Structure 1
Amino acid sequence: MNKTALVTGASSGIGEATARKLQELGFIVYGAARRLDRLEKLAADGIRPLAMDVTDDDSMRTGVEQIIAETGRVDVLVNNAGYGSYGAIEDVPLAEARQQFEVNVFGAARLAQLVLPHMREQGSGTIVNVTSMGGKLYTPFGGWYHGTKFALEAISDCLRLEAKPFGVDVVVIEPGGIQTEWGGIAAEKLKESSGRGAYARQARAVAGGMAANADSGRNSSPPSVIADAIGKAVTARRPKTRYAVGFGARPLIAVRRIVSDRVFDSLISRASGVPAK
């Protein structure tokens, strides 16, 4: 019997690589994204395209209902859809901050709510929440983004305890620097939000570093390393609760555990390119 997986944010980057990895492992894979045209390459290779907006409840319910109608089960949910909204806390409009939480947190939580009844009935399943090393540490101008990732880490921990008695595993994936569109998009958001005004000098410096890394591929790993970790997690008899993978993830998380807040403030400011006074 083929197991079924749903991967959100499947149109590129980590989501696309994960959809392909799970298909390689024998899963029937549904790749979800807002626009079906961006899923054409996956569809051509036998991955089932699914139009889904993780900020639209009807869209999510319809998608899960379609999977159940066509396969009768859902074994893996990979909550990967997300983006980075960067800017000074003072500058970012609360409407944008709420949208960041809608996509990165509430969309993932709602999909978990929708698949859990089916997983409980089966007595098995795995929910994979893709957070970030940014769910364990922080950077200047990333307050709203880091807030979503810290929140998803906490929700995942609570959900793991709640779902365990029903045979459902909850796994957190904490990517480090990855070669995706994320860095370029976050840099543009930062320039839009804080490229002028009181924070402009710092924001332009940080955005420049983010964009340069994104363009060059420096300080980053290919999306396949995350896909491989997810593949390992969903096929393990007893998966780890967390997988920190990709450029810088393990050492930076380890440093954050060891040093004081003030020392980490200094380290991360310099690494982010914040100019000295």
Structure 2
Amino acid sequence: MNAGVALVTGASSGIGEATAVELARRGFTVYGVARRLDRMSGLAEHGVHVFEMDVTDDASITSGVERILHEQGRIDVLVNNAGYGSYGALEDVPIEEARRQFEVNVFGLARLTQLVLPHMRAQRSGRIVNVSSIGGKFYEPLGAWYHATKFAVEGLSDSLRLELKPHGIHVVVIEPGTIRTEWGGIASESAIARSGGTAYGRQAERLAKVYELADRPGVGASPRVVALAIATAATARRPRIRYAVPFGAKAILVVRRILTDRAFDWLILRAYGPR
């Protein structure tokens, strides 16, 4: 696939920022979007076009897609990367926050995909790259809502892949494991804020320690590792259906497939349970 026009959401930091830079390096005309426009100023140095987009605001994403089509006439790759992890015991998380997490992680992804598909179908080519997580295949205590959104992204992507195959459009799922981004800090802070002083406090404290460890160099991988997988998905003649990165992510998914539910429960509780 020749380099074309790519739209990357959640480009203000971490995986999205690294992906926008990598795709631009490979010759794509890249549009990086996020709610925090000020955080994307550095992308301009790499030739990335940036503007504000809120994936939970239909007017925002509609006008954004129309702008790209007006300026470029096409969108060849959509990288649905915007998302976050909001943690806390299900009992403690307000249902409004649960809905917001689905709005960002699932419905924003789906709506943006709806908007680009007519144009990809017309050109009979395109790539939809959905950034899920290994968390779409396993689970953690205090992560019910986050994992529910990623399980949803996995199922949505599988159905979408079959729908779009006759139209020449590839759907690829990216499943990052432990990556050094601000994601872990947000997840652990939300767990402590919502459940730290409740009956689930010891679990919240343990989860925060696990994520603190994951952010250390040598434990978590660089966001560029994920960006390289996304770039491969965007350019390969026949991309894989799923890319789990880094190697540790593949190992965790293998363990999940091998173990029974009870055995995996024991393993997770050993890692995240109160000590």
> After TM superposition, is the score higher than 0.5?
yes
The answer to whether the aligner puts 1:79 opposite 2:80 as a matched pair is: yes
Partner of 1:52: 53
Root-mean-square deviation (CA, aligned residues, Å) is 1.2
Q: Match for 2:246: what amino acid?
A: G
Q: Runs of 5+ in structure 2 lacking a partner?
A: none
Verify the 8 A CA contact 1:226 1:246 in the aligned structure 2: yes
- How big is the shift at 1:95? 0.4
Q: How many residues align?
A: 274
Percent of aligned pairs sharing the same letter = 62
Partner of 2:274: 275
Distance (whole Å) between structure 2 residues aligned to residue 45 and residue 251 of structure 1: 34
Within 5 Å, give how 1:180-219 maps onto structure 2: 180-214=181-215, 216-219=216-219
Verify the 8 A CA contact 2:176 2:246 in the aligned structure 1: yes
Verify the 8 A CA contact 1:52 1:60 in the aligned structure 2: yes
Runs of 4+, deviation exceeding 4 Å: none
Verify the 8 A CA contact 1:80 1:129 in the aligned structure 2: yes
SS in 1 for 2:209: helix
Distance (whole Å) between structure 2 residues aligned to residue 154 and residue 203 of structure 1: 28
Distance (whole Å) between structure 2 residues aligned to residue 217 and residue 94 of structure 1: 35
Distance (whole Å) between structure 2 residues aligned to residue 22 and residue 44 of structure 1: 14
Q: Which moved more, 1:197-206 or 1:129-138?
A: 197-206
Query: What's the TM-score, normalizing by structure 1?
Result: 0.96
Distance (whole Å) between structure 1 residues aligned to residue 46 and residue 253 of structure 2: 37
| CA shift in 2, pair 1:87/1:197, >3 Å | same
Distance (whole Å) between structure 2 residues aligned to residue 120 and residue 129 of structure 1: 18
SS in 2 for 1:78: strand
Partner of 2:12: 11
Partner of 2:251: 251
SS in 1 for 2:75: coil
Distance (whole Å) between structure 2 residues aligned to residue 84 and residue 256 of structure 1: 21
Residues 34-93 of structure 1: CA deviation (Å, up to 9, x unaligned): 121111000232100021001000000000000000000000000001100011111111
Within 5 Å, give how 1:149-164 maps onto structure 2: 149-164=150-165
Distance (whole Å) between structure 2 residues aligned to residue 51 and residue 206 of structure 1: 33
SS in 1 for 2:31: strand
Q: Match for 2:202: what amino acid?
A: R
SS in 2 for 1:248: helix
Q: Runs of 5+ in structure 1 lacking a partner?
A: none
Query: What's the TM-score, normalizing by structure 2?
Result: 0.97
Partner of 1:234: 234
Verify the 8 A CA contact 1:219 1:247 in the aligned structure 2: no
SS in 1 for 2:79: strand
Distance (whole Å) between structure 1 residues aligned to residue 65 and residue 139 of structure 2: 34
